[in-house]
Amino acid sequence: MKIILDVMGGDNPPEAIVRGAIMAKESVSSRIVLVGNETMIREALAKHGADENDFDIVHSDGVITMEDGPMCIVQKKKDSSMAKALTLLAQGEGDACVSCGNTGALFTGATLIVRRIKGVRRAALATIMPYDNDVMLIDSGANVTVTADYLVHFAYLGSIYMRKVYGLEAPRVAIINNGEEKHKGTPLVLEARELMLGDEYINFVGSVEGQELPYAKCDIAVCDGFTGNVILKTSEGLSNYITDAAMAAIKAAGNASEEVLEAMEKIRRRFDSTEYGGAVMIGLTKPVVKAHGSSDSNAIKNALICAEKYAKSDVTSDIEKAFEVLDPLAQLANGGKNDSKK
């Protein structure tokens, strides 16, 4: 297998990203294709004592920055490393693609270049949160405005992924809400909840509130991408803030043992977002993984491991087969009653 890595995105390109690829060599069996400025890639490989022959290198000019709008990837920046990486994936030159660049551009590029699986209303960005169980937050930032039927599709996509990649038999789907009671929720949430309640293809367990997310109430938490982004970013910020404050307080106590400091450092790492495997884009014909924007080498390594797992699971074929049956347009015409699936 081959994993295509855009090395020009994120906060410290390309060196930290190339270094992540070198680190990943021990953990992934796939060959890694480095896409970006060739000279800089060779310099970064040399600096870290890596053998150029262990990687494929594909040159590209131009970089998509965080300030670029999402459409730039198919317009004025269609020669950028991110566009090149996705084009290689679409052309079959690799089995998965990883980037830590601009999320909006990556999502737009993935949708327009790699393309959605037939029948999927919208691809989604999904992030696994490291709590009592692995909880998938879907959409975690790509689709800022959605309709109720998009949310239902996110539930389908998340269910298939968690079944295939995480081995859960009947993943429990919940919808993010501001309360459990029947009258709680925005009109969007109320409509989506109604659709999911009546859907035999979703193991729907009702509403979930933010404070319940760490406590194994569901395997998949569905929401719009704005809400998902807010949950994820708030969690990241607070995790760092609290673990830093705890570490500082323990050190200030003056007599913390080495074992205590080590235990606290482990807690800090457990909740550190750069330790996660990256967010996956689901609903596309090929696996695309978004690593964190402030990705260090370790985060890139984990994103590459995640991408290989995603590609090897062949969940994409499962989604293709499922959506042949789900036939979303007929379903919508039926008001979510799913008669068309029977």
**Count, residues in the chain:** 342
Q: Which stretch binds a copy of itself (CB under 8 A): 32-40, 83-91, 158-166, 236-244?
A: 236-244
User: Exactly one of 38, 42, 69, 275 binds a copy of itself (CB under 8 A); which one?
Assistant: 69
User: Exactly one of 9, 13, 141, 171 binds a copy of itself (CB under 8 A); which one?
Assistant: 141
Degrees (nearest 5) of the Cα angle 116, 121, 124? 70
Please list, residue by residue across 127-138, b when 16 or more beta carbons sit within 10 angstroms of its beta carbon and e when fewer do. Answer: bbbbeebbbbbb
User: Rounded to the nearest 5°, which phi and psi values hold at 251?
Assistant: -65, -40
Residue 168 Cβ vs a copy of itself, minimum distance, rounded to whole Å: 21
Task: Provide the pairing of β-strand 288-290 with 279-282.
Answer: antiparallel
Nearer to a copy of itself, 180 or 339 (CB): 180
Q: Which of 326, 313, 338 is nearest to 163 (CA)?
A: 313
Q: Does 241 bind a copy of itself (CB under 8 A)?
A: yes
Q: Does 205 bind a copy of itself (CB under 8 A)?
A: no
Residue 228 Cβ vs a copy of itself, minimum distance, rounded to whole Å: 9
Q: Which of 328, 312, 302 is nearest to 127 (CA)?
A: 302
Q: What is the rounded CA–CA span in Å between residue 300 and residue 280?
A: 13
Q: Does 313 bind a copy of itself (CB under 8 A)?
A: no
Q: Does 178 bind a copy of itself (CB under 8 A)?
A: yes
Nearer to a copy of itself, 46 or 246 (CB): 246
Q: Which stretch binds a copy of itself (CB under 8 A): 46-54, 112-120, 212-220, 328-336?
A: 212-220
Q: What is the rounded CA–CA span in Å between residue 319 and residue 284?
A: 9
126 three-state secondary structure: strand
- State the virtual CA torsion across 213, 196, 142, 176 in degrees, nearest 10: -30
Nearer to a copy of itself, 22 or 232 (CB): 232
**Contact between 260 and 154 (Cβ < 8 Å):** no
User: Exactly one of 242, 329, 330, 333 binds a copy of itself (CB under 8 A); which one?
Assistant: 242
Q: Does 230 bind a copy of itself (CB under 8 A)?
A: yes
Considering only residues 288 to 307 of the shown chain, the ones binding a copy of itself according to CB under 8 A are: none
Q: Which residues bind a copy of itself (CB under 8 A)?
A: 66-67, 69-70, 104, 131, 141, 144-145, 176, 178-179, 181, 183-187, 189, 209-215, 225-227, 229-243, 245-246, 249-250, 252-257, 259-260, 262-264, 266-267, 270-271
